[in-house]
Homo-oligomer: A and B are copies of this chain.
Amino acid sequence: MIRFGVIGYGYWGPNLVRNIAETKGAQVAMVSDLRPERLALVQRRYPYIDVTADCRELVSDPRVDVVVISTPVDTHFDLAMQALQAHKHVFLEKPITGTSEQALRLIEAAQARQLRIMVDHTFIYTGAVRKIKELVDKGTLGEVQYYDSVRVNLGLFQPDVNVIWDLAVHDLSIMDYVTGKRPVAVSATGFGHVQNRPENIAYITLFFAERLIGHVHVNWLSPVKLRTTLIGGAEKMIVYDDMEPTEKVKVYDRGISVTPDSESLYKVLVGYRMGDMWAPQLDGSEGLGVEMQHYVRCLETGEKPITDAQAGLRVVRILEAATESMKNRGQLVELPESKEVSA
């Protein structure tokens, strides 16, 4: 039985606690939060879980094997480092840390102690994203040519981070997982409509060494909630609409065919293929539940989690580059070599 201690019972914490409690082989031993009313809520729902206002108590408690950190991002590094130093595994809310430097240091600390960091890139574990990954890996889509996502809503304006750090994390982690490709440069633009607050609308273009382009549109000031991703492949194309209740993934047998133009050596003819659409039945399990099962299995077997700290680091590096580019109204920012850090 792996015992979890959860720091932070705010917006997402209740989902974490509920899913851990329902995961075989896992149990929630303790929850900490600074707000007494949140702890009271935990006790009402789960009278058997210990609660504390002091997260250090939780981190050092011998009954805790894994520390789950569900707090504002600027606290991630310190809490995670304390947990690692106390020889606990760490499960971090996204994004992994507020800087790539911090992520690198966590990776080193975990490596030195043989501990497993997991980042909560939760969409990776949904039926929809797993199906898309399967279709890409099997070659059904052919070469992936573009990845375009829109994630907008009337958001919770976060006071300290811009909208990219809040919403684009999801898209960047899905793109990273699904395409398996690493961007080499970023151009981003955006705007902040509230004085003294960071940008609430942003557009990020991602350039790759491959014949692939990525784009993410995030916005906290949209009247409607949209979650639409277009993935263009040379053979098939996908529309992934997470707002659809069941048919979230639609695969289109559509595209172009390029043939040499008989009249000119340097020209090509572009034809079109408008074929059928197919919506595979998806596993409807809650992503967070699948994720917890995966993490527990990784802890039991030593397997590397899909969304490990390296995945978290790759995303943070893009967030940093996009933020910098956005400050300079679209100026290209190159990304560091994307190979795995050797830590």
Contacts and interface: CB of A to CB of B under 8 A. Distances in A.
A311 interface: no
Contact of A217 (B152, B217, B225, B238): B217
Which of A48, A201, A255 has the largest number of chain B CB atoms within 10 A? Answer: A201
Given A223-B252, A330-B187, A213 B201 contact: yes
Contacts of A246: 225
Nearest to A18: B45
Contacts of A232: 221-223
A277 to B, nearest CB: 4
B223 A254 contact: yes
Copies in the complex: 4
A213 B189 contact: yes
Nearest to A27: B44
Interface residues of A, number: 71
Given A152-B230, A203-B203, A329-B187, A277 B193 contact: no
Contact of A276 (B219, B245, B281): B281
Given A203-B205, A278-B278, A159 B330 contact: no
Nearest to A189: B205
A215 interface: yes
A138 to B, nearest CB: 15
Contact of A258 (B194, B203, B239): B194
A123 interface: no
Given A224-B239, A276-B279, 5 more contacts: A154-B254, A189-B215, A191-B211, A215-B217, A329-B332
12 contacts: A21-B44, A146-B191, A185-B329, A190-B213, A194-B270, A195-B268, A196-B267, A215-B217, A224-B252, A278-B278, A325-B330, A330-B331
Interface of A: 21, 44-45, 47-48, 145-146, 148, 150, 152, 154, 157, 159, 185, 187, 189-191, 193-197, 201, 203, 205, 207, 211, 213, 215, 217, 219, 221-225, 230, 232, 237-239, 243, 245-247, 250, 252-256, 258, 266-268, 270, 272, 274-281, 325, 329-332
